[in-house]
Amino acid sequence: MSRPDPALLSLNTATVRAQWKLDRIIAGCERYGIRGIAPWRDQVAELGLEETRRRIRGAGLTVTGLCRGGFVTAQGRPGLAAAIEENRRAIEEAAELSAQCLVLVVGGLPDGSRDIAGARALVEEGVAAILEDARQAGLPLAIEPLHPMYAADRACINTIAQANALCERLGDGIGIAVDVYHVWWDPELERGIAATPSRRLLGFHICDWLSPTADLLTDRGMMGDGVIDIRGIRGWMQAAGYRGFHEVEIFSANNWWKRDPDEVLRTCKARHAEVC
Ligand code: ZN
């Protein structure tokens, strides 16, 4: 496996969101020759959609994804219509930013529910409802399977195979964002990626799994500091026809969010070359 093309490095803005606002993150990407960016909707709202678009375009960055849509099950069936509306706004924003996809964290169990099968059915119904809007906007939806530790509160789609089956039923305009943090443990991962049509591989998110992990949400590691064979998984993605960006996405309350953001970006670049 050869070293990755440095031009394929993208920065998910969560990686330095504790230190920098979006305008500084965009400038930082430009300064360090990072060619892709994946902003979060709250940051876009703060800077303003039009201003965000202008700055990203000015910096020559590709928007590898907008974070995020989904959460269609959060309030259960009574909240489905509102969730669909919110997702339609996210689709419009993503299209406005010429994002390569809108990342969907689909949602977990509604409060008080023990019905995970019902939650998964509701996800399918909700995503089907926004898919036509996404198609019309020319904006692919990317389901991100999340690690099963988040099945209750964030996403009840937890494996590539599950996401593929859903995409199969829903048809065109929807694919998968493969985040190594969420899927590295899956014994069916290689097979699952190989079985995914390349047009459906919409994103590749990288960071590392620290052992032990101190926090379920905000203790992700820098590439190379954990146990994930990132280069190996990249090889599987490449073999399946994926040619897109490698998006660094690190939530790290006690380490990387406390460091000088310039150091974080330099380290992302170096580790991308060394271990991805
Ligand atoms: Zn991700």
pLDDT 10s digits, 145-203: 999 999 999 999 999 999 999 999 999 999 999 999 999 999 999 999 999 999 999 99
Ligand 1 midpoint to CA 218 (Å): 13
pLDDT at 71: 96
Ligand 1 midpoint to CA 112 (Å): 27
Q: What percent of the chain is modeled with pLDDT above 90?
A: 99
Both tokens of residue 48?
């303003």
Residue 150 and residue 216: Cα distance in Å, rounded? 9
Ligand 1 midpoint to CA 180 (Å): 8
| Mean pLDDT of the 57-74 span | 97
Q: Where are the beta strands (DSSP E) in the chain?
A: 9-12, 36-38, 62-63, 66-70, 102-105, 141-143, 174-179, 201-206, 246-248
Q: What percent of the chain is modeled with pLDDT above 70?
A: 100
At 157 the three-state DSSP class reads coil
Ligand 1 midpoint to CA 147 (Å): 10
H helix count then E strand count, the chain: 10, 9
At 7 the three-state DSSP class reads helix
pLDDT at 88: 98
Which of 3.30.750.24, 3.30.70.600, 3.20.20.150, 3.40.50.2300 would CATH assign to domain 6-275?
3.20.20.150
Ligand 1 midpoint to CA 144 (Å): 7
What is the Cα gyration radius of the chain? 17
Per-residue model confidence as pLDDT tens digits over 206-255: 999 999 999 999 999 999 999 999 999 999 999 999 999 999 999 999 99
In angstroms, the Cα distances linking 98 to 85, 139, 214, 217 are 20, 8, 36, 29
Ligand 1 midpoint to CA 54 (Å): 25
Cα 218–Cα 176–Cα 194 angle in degrees, nearest 5: 110
Residue 124 and residue 171: Cα distance in Å, rounded? 12
In angstroms, the Cα distances linking 141 to 37, 76, 119, 159 are 17, 21, 19, 17
| Confidence label for 139 from pLDDT (cuts 50, 70 and 90) | very high
Ligand 1 midpoint to CA 20 (Å): 19
Ligand 1 midpoint to CA 143 (Å): 10
Ligand 1 midpoint to CA 43 (Å): 17
Residue with the two structure tokens 């060394």: 274
> Is-contact 50 26, C-beta < 8 A?
no
pLDDT at 12: 98
Ligand 1 midpoint to CA 179 (Å): 5
Mean pLDDT across the chain: 98
